[in-house]
Amino acid sequence: MPVRQQREPAPVHPDIERVLLTGDRIQARLREMAALIDRDYADREVLLVGVLKGAFLLMADLARYVTVPMRFDFMAVSSYGSATQTSGVVRILKDLEQDIGQRHVLLVEDIVDTGLTLNYLLRSLRARRPASLDVLSLLTKPEQVRVPIEVRYVGFEVPGVFVVGYGLDYAERYRNLPYIGTLRRSVYETP
C-alpha cells in the first residue's frame, strides 16, 4: 500500500491526567543514551539484562539504537507491596538463562523509585561475579530515594508521583502507551 502521509499520533488515553514525557521525547533520549553505551562499550560485548515486565518496550527500542555487539537476557521480579508502593522484598520470578561471570552486564530498569528493588537485584547479580555491572534506568524519582544507588545512565528524573505508560502499569494496564503520564485520581480512587 502506498504511504502518503505520517500517521497522526494516537490521542491521549482518557485515564491520563497529564503527559509528562511524550513518545518523541522518550525516543530522542534513548538515542542519546545509546550513543553513550556505544562509546562506553566500544571494546566489550555488553549483556543487556531487562527487568520484566516494565522494561520490555525500553529494551526493544533502546537495543535498536545501540550499535555495539550485544546479547540479551531478562529477569522477572515482583516486589511485594500495594499497587503503587514497594516493600523492598523482592521475589525473582524468572532468573537469567546464562552465567554472567566475565560478562559486562547492563541492567535495564524502567524506574528507580525508593531503590529497594534495584538494591536487591544488584546484590543478587554482583554475587555472580560479572566483569562489570552497571544500571540504566529510564526514570528515577530522586525525591523518593531510600537506598542510594549509582545509576550510570538515567533517562529522566521525574517527581515523586505515580506514573504509567511506556512499560509502566497500574494494575497491569497502560503499559502499551507510547508516552509516560500521570493517572486521573478517579482511576485509583473508587468512590
Q: For residues 157 and 140, what is the distance between their CA atoms, to the nearest angstrom? A: 5
| Shortest Å, Cβ 17 to ligand XMP | 13
Binders of ligand XMP in range 84-143 (CB under 6 A)? 86, 110-118
Binders of ligand XMP in range 30-69 (CB under 6 A)? 54
Whichever of 38 and 169 has its CB closer to Mg ion, that residue is 169
| Shortest Å, Cβ 6 to ligand XMP | 29
Contact window for Mg ion (CB under 5 A) among 56-64, 101-109, 147-155, 161-169: 161-169
49 binds, among ligand XMP, Mg ion, none (CB under 5 to 8 A by kind): none
List all residues 6 or more positions away from 144 whose beta carbon is below 8 Å from its beta carbon: 113, 114, 160
Residue 16: name the closest of 177, 190, 146 by CA: 177
122 binds, among ligand XMP, Mg ion, none (CB under 5 to 8 A by kind): none
What is the 3-state composition of the chain as percent helix, strand, coil, each rounded to the nearest 5? 25, 35, 45
Catalytic site includes residue 113? yes
Q: Which of 40, 113, 134, 169 is catalytic?
A: 113
DSSP class of 184: P
Start-to-end C-alpha separation, the chain? 48
Binding site for Mg ion (CB under 5 A): 169
